Copies of this chain bind each other. A is one copy, B any other.
Amino acid sequence: MHPLDSIFKPQSIAVVGASRRVGSIGRELMHNLIEYNFHGKVFPVNPKADYIHSIKAFPTVSAIPDPVDLAIIVVPREEVLGVIDDCGQKGVKGLVVITAGFKETGEEGGRVEEQLKERVKRYGMRMVGPNCMGVMNTHPEVRMDATFAPTLPLPGRIGFMSQSGALGVAILNIARQLDIGFSFFVSMGNKTDVSGNDLLLYWENDPETDLILMYLESFGNMQRFIQIARRIAKQKPIVAVKSGRTPAGARAASSHTGALVSAQGLDVATDALLEHCGVIRVDTVEELFDLAMGFSKNPVPRGNRLGILTNAGGPAIMATDTAISLGLAVGKLSERTTAELRRLLPPEASVSNPVDMTPKSDRSKYEACARVMLEDDGIDSLLVVFVPPMMISAMEIVMALEELRRQFPKPVLGVMMAPEAFFQELNQKHPGHMAIYLFPESAVRALWALERHRQWRERPLGEVRRFEVNRSVAEQLFRSVRSESRRQLTAHEGLRLLEAYGIPVARSVVASSLRELDARARGFPFPAALKVISPDIVHKTEVGGVALDLRTPEELTAAARRMIESLGQQRALEIRPPEAAAPAFLLQEYVRGGREVILGMTQDSNFGPLLMFGLGGIFVETLKDVTFRVPPLADIDAEEMIRQIGGYALLAGVRGEAPIDFAALAEALQRFSQLVEDFPEIAEIEVNPFLVFPDARQFRAVDARVRLAD
């Protein structure tokens, strides 16, 4: 038995805080349990009542003579902990805490929630909530509506979890109207114990659940979520509304990676990460329904080639526009299909896809043409549009399509631009009907999601390579940095760290004085670059701390002197903080040409380590053209990270240039990912620029900023 079965498949339920007062949660919840015909025993618990809803009531849970699997708690917050103890002593294993007033109300509530969490754990219980509106399991052998929602659910094959209780209620309202049913519904509340990840795992192997919908406002453990979701989404589509797009506020950040994540980038990162694990993100609840209808009533298509059959041009054009913009293809019909359509249709009809049958087309025309199109191997799914003209009934058309879709293993979706009365009649007379939409765009979005799911299913997960690296060099470096009470590595140290992980770096030496610099310069290949090196100076260029393309030792010495002078003046003017240590010099191989890219990682409070890739220089600064992933990074992930930046064409070569070595760049990204995984103590790292060329032997990391966690 799964531990969550005590919550979702109980034999007996105690409703603690059950009430007779109409309108109270304790009453409505009792009412729903009874009304929905729970297959098991329900025990109202209320010390002030002898019976509730015609059922004998008990003063406490422990006073119930029978075993109790699940306790649903709706008492005031002050009484919750006592009730938990009572349940614990009784041996109750499942809890749903409806009661609010915990961490969502501030510090004091947060403290009580901590106690609640501790107690639940101590008794070995599992808990949904607190601050939730309950749970449902529509399975015919369970039939549990343990919510206080005004709408009873339709049974179906969708698991739905909502982080907003109120939105959950609204969704149940609307779903019923749309003939959309659920296997499970869970209002998660504060997610103090049972999390979204727990529910995903629970539904992964549940034979009653084919599709998972989520309304989320925050991620608990994002890395774990990604691991789980990547696997599950291969079998069952996961559709998420993730709200809370507005950044909570700018964070102080010293690197581009951090800045991009904390500003508008955070939401872009969420998009990227959800895509990275096969989760289909939608913006609105409305789209969630559009997709739910599409998924729950259709097979997965074999490809992206859409057929459109219509009795009116306008909506077909709009469907085509939407399809193309979402990356679907309008399939080419075979000659045989075209000839057959030509035979079936009047001369003014258009028999290429979209097929416009003209307004006079009735049920038999729709049926014949839809069949011919479904038989065409060039069409993977069929969208049927109907604008009601006089005298032709939308219902007749739907009935014809219902028969066809049972004969063909292809998605068939309808768009009926008909009055509301039609939809009401459809739901009443034909529950479980095919997916029917009012607007063409909604239907096409659903088809897009079906196709996205197919692509994810067929996409290999790729291989996470482990490279031979020199891990001990990295460990020594970090020890030495920490021994000096520093957290920021110098550029030289940063490059050594990368080198240890097999990422090619520009040859560099350090000198702490002019004299030492002269000595080091002997035998060093020119042209060279000279940079000031100090953990306190982050933006070297701005303080005159960089000189490039030095061609002779003499030019080098002159540059070093100018640098000392410039830094000295700025120190005097207090532009730099006075504690900046005496700077040393970094003498570096000067790398010409190539494309600048940037590899970054920041530890995000939501996501954990977040890898970033982008074009460097002005591209990252002004265009924010970057992609995000979380480690571990499989080969295919690294390739996607590179391919998905807007300026990809620059790496592939413009104006007849040769493309850069993409395989080598992908490997560098995977090595970078391995470094980040091996050392969770790295708080932030940015390689910028990393210069890449058609020949991998020329690749060079030129600068690296690395910051360790406190």
Contact = CB atoms under 8 A, between A and B. Distances in A.
Contacts of A390: 23, 25, 28, 148, 150
A508 to B, nearest CB: 23
A347 B100 CA distance: 13
Given A150-B390, A173-B418, A387-B167, A317 B217 contact: yes
A389 B169 contact: yes
A221 interface: no
Contact of A388 (B173, B318, B623, B656): B173
A419 interface: yes
A166 interface: yes
**Oligomeric state, in copies:** 2
B391 A105 contact: no
A43 B418 CA distance: 32
A477 to B, nearest CB: 30
B284 A314 contact: no
A314 B215 contact: yes
Nearest to A648: B622
A565 interface: no
A35 interface: no
A647 interface: yes
A285 interface: yes
Nearest to A651: B622
A439 interface: yes
Interface stretch (A120-128, A242-250, A600-608): A242-250
B169 A388 contact: yes
A314 B541 contact: no
B177 A420 contact: yes
B387 A170 contact: yes
A245 B313 contact: no
A29 to B, nearest CB: 10
A708 interface: no
B314 A246 contact: no
A647 B623 CA distance: 7
Nearest to A315: B167
A220 to B, nearest CB: 17
Given A177-B419, A245-B324, A163 B622 contact: no
A320 interface: yes
B217 A166 contact: no
Contact of A246 (B163, B167, B320, B646): B320
Interface string A88-125: 00000000000011001100000000000000000000
A618 B314 contact: no
A110 B646 CA distance: 44
Contacts of A169: 387-389, 417
A359 interface: yes
A441 interface: yes
Contacts of A318: 241, 243, 284-285
Contact of A174 (B174, B417, B622, B649): B417
A558 interface: no
A615 to B, nearest CB: 10
A347 B105 CA distance: 9
A313 B164 contact: yes
Contact of A623 (B101, B151, B217, B646): B646
A654 interface: yes
Nearest to A418: B173
B654 A621 contact: yes
A283 interface: yes
A273 to B, nearest CB: 17
Contacts of A650: 618, 622
A325 interface: yes
Interface of A: 22-23, 25, 28, 100-101, 104-105, 148, 150-151, 162-167, 169-170, 173-174, 176-177, 215, 217, 241, 243-246, 283-286, 311-315, 317-318, 320-322, 324-325, 347-348, 359, 387-391, 417-420, 424, 438-439, 441-442, 541-542, 618, 621-623, 646-647, 649-650, 654-656
10 contacts: A150-B388, A150-B390, A166-B312, A167-B312, A167-B387, A173-B388, A176-B419, A245-B325, A286-B439, A286-B441
Given A162-B314, A286-B439, 20 more contacts: A23-B390, A101-B348, A150-B390, A163-B314, A164-B312, A166-B313, A166-B387, A167-B314, A167-B417, A170-B388, A173-B417, A174-B419, A243-B314, A243-B317, A244-B317, A284-B318, A284-B322, A621-B655, A622-B654, A623-B623
